[in-house]
A = this chain, B = another copy of it.
Amino acid sequence: MSDRQTKDALFDAFAEVAKALANGRRAELVDVLVQGERHVEELATEIGQSVANTSFHLRVLATTGLVTTRRSGTRIYYRLASECVIELWTALRDVAAAHHDELDELAAAYLGDRNRLEQIGRDELAQRIATGAVVVVDVRPAPEYRAGHITSARSIPIDDLAANIDSLPADVEIVAYCRGPYCVYADEAVRLLQQRGRSARRLEDGYPEWHRAALPVTTADTAS
């Protein structure tokens, strides 16, 4: 094989990794898996696709080495293969945010007018948690909370929030968090809470960024 062919093959291999992320549904899958492992049916629901198609896309991600699987009974759980996949996904989002002009409109259309919502920084929240002057609510789906969450946070998935507002103390500020900057759950939670007369803010970004900043978390590993 010539040098040219070998070099082409090497860069085709690099491109294979990009190809794995070069589909909106697979991108959504990775974005969900950043939160922790999930089984196929859950993932299909998350991305709004058939189980067969979701399985197909997961297989693409697995073949490229971005995700790995483990079986538990009839369920097969998918998870990211390593931390560096999170870094790749983050770098991809950053480039998209910086250069893809349409993205601003799309993000605005999906995220709504986030400017009106006040955010709280990670360090400030960590301090407030230490002094006990705040209630932290994890509004992601329950499996993501179980996989790992901010220490002392309470799990109230966004769909259950309306029915559970009364169980939250009335005299303390509430901080909601979710998957990250491109997730709307915490925004919805803050809007709902404020409508009900509560003092509420969203945490900047989400759980993965908190975890990455080496702030206190409780994970499925530490709990078992």
Contact = CB atoms under 8 A, between A and B. Distances in A.
Given A10-B106, A109-B1, A65 B100 contact: yes
B99 A66 contact: yes
A173 interface: no
Given A15-B24, A17-B100, A98-B82, A91 B93 contact: no
B94 A10 contact: no
A41 interface: no
Contacts of A64: 99-100
A6 interface: yes
A106 B18 contact: no
A4 interface: yes
A133 interface: no
Interface stretch (A26-34, A114-122, A153-161, A192-200): A26-34
Nearest to A182: B10
Contacts of A84: 91, 94-95, 98
Nearest to A7: B110
Interface of A: 1, 3-4, 6-28, 31, 48, 64-66, 81-82, 84-85, 87-88, 90-96, 98-103, 106-107, 109-110, 182
Given A91-B91, A94-B88, A109-B1, A31 B16 contact: no
A17 B90 CA distance: 12
A13 B106 contact: yes
A14 B65 contact: no
Contact of A15 (B9, B15, B21): B21
Contacts of A15: 21-24, 26-27
Chain B CB count within 10 A is highest, among A12, A18, A23, A27, for A18
A160 B159 CA distance: 67
Contacts of A110: 3, 6-7, 9-10
A96 B13 contact: yes
A20 to B, nearest CB: 8
A3 B20 CA distance: 25
Given A9-B109, A18-B19, 16 more contacts: A9-B106, A10-B103, A10-B110, A11-B31, A13-B102, A14-B27, A17-B92, A17-B95, A18-B20, A64-B99, A64-B100, A84-B94, A84-B95, A85-B95, A85-B99, A88-B88
